[in-house]
Copies of this chain bind each other. A is one copy, B any other.
Amino acid sequence: MMNEFDLIQNYFNWELTDPSVELGVGDDAALFNLPLGHQLVTSTDTLVEGIHFFKDASPGDIAYKSLAVNLSDIAAMGAVAKCFTLSLTLPKLDQQWLKQFSSSLKESSRLFNVNLIGGDTTKGPLNITITMMGSIEMDSSIKRSGARDKDDVYVTGDLGAAALCLKKINEGVKPNQNELTRLNRPVPRLELGSALKNVASSCIDISDGLEQDLSHILKSSEVGATIDTLKLPLDSSVTKYIKNTKDWSLPLCGGDDYELCFTAKKSKRDQIRVLSENLKIKVTKIGVINGSKELKINGYDGLSSSYQHF
């Protein structure tokens, strides 16, 4: 019978690609060296069956997304992701499942240049918790609390496609491949996040929905903002959906986008345009910060209904 140690040896003990990891999987704890003058940046996110993914979700998609949602948090700080631990709770030792999960996690971690350095496997209802660690030069991180009066408000990419996909599945409508990719394979904005150091005044990843997550910036920064629905960058399927339904809650509150919402001084506009062009990532100005301590959304009179964890 395969025990925990065989399981780790077979599926999760990969060659390290980062010389700053001194000790990875296989001791009581892992050892990692931060670059001189850098500080540790760390974040953790859990994915639970039936909440964050469907019961029949592919192990490869689950592995990819577990990593991506954590990387998105590191990106939102402007940091560079380095290594992660994985806590994997599994109902049973399903080798087929593990093979697919492990292979996708390995491939994804190579893609984003991060190393698995430790973890825990245990028996129980399926639960995947990743803790991502990264680093950033001292005093360079982009916090939620830095937005100031008259700053521009931006979002990356476009909004609502993942939420539209989820809505279709829940309603028994088959989503197209593009929509499925947006839900299952969100791309963390690591390069852009890192490039926004010393450019953005505040930043957050909008995993819970733009309306709720921008509100966190406003609260932390003790400011308000006005944004405009007509300026929101939308996927063409979302544009069509809104034309038919007038339902702006999808891109505003739908969540699962893993784009960045950030603020920056007006004087940074040229720099941000150049960054966007160089990295080939759409960046859209959707509004302006003000002193009101409220979020006003022109063209939207719906209720706040962003993602609630309970």
Interface residues of A (CB under 8 A from B): 1-5, 7, 22-23, 26-34, 39-46, 48-52, 73-74, 76-77, 79, 85-87, 89-90, 92-93, 117-125, 127, 129, 131-134, 136, 138, 141, 143-145, 203-205, 216, 220, 308-310
Interchain CA distance A57-B111 in the complex, whole Å: 42
B26, B28, B41, B73: the one contacting A76 at CB < 8 Å is: B28
- B44 contacts A77, C-beta separation under 8 Å: no
CB contacts (< 8 Å) of A33 on chain B: these are: 39-40, 138
CB contacts (< 8 Å) of A74 on chain B: these are: 28-29
- Report, nearest first, the 10 A-B pairs whose CB atoms are least far apart: A48-B124, A4-B309, A29-B43, A125-B125, A28-B76, A131-B131, A44-B85, A129-B129, A28-B73, A32-B40
CB contacts (< 8 Å) of A124 on chain B: these are: 48-51, 125, 127
- B43 contacts A40, C-beta separation under 8 Å: no
CB contacts (< 8 Å) of A138 on chain B: these are: 33
A94 to chain B, nearest CB (A): 11
- A310 contacts B3, C-beta separation under 8 Å: yes
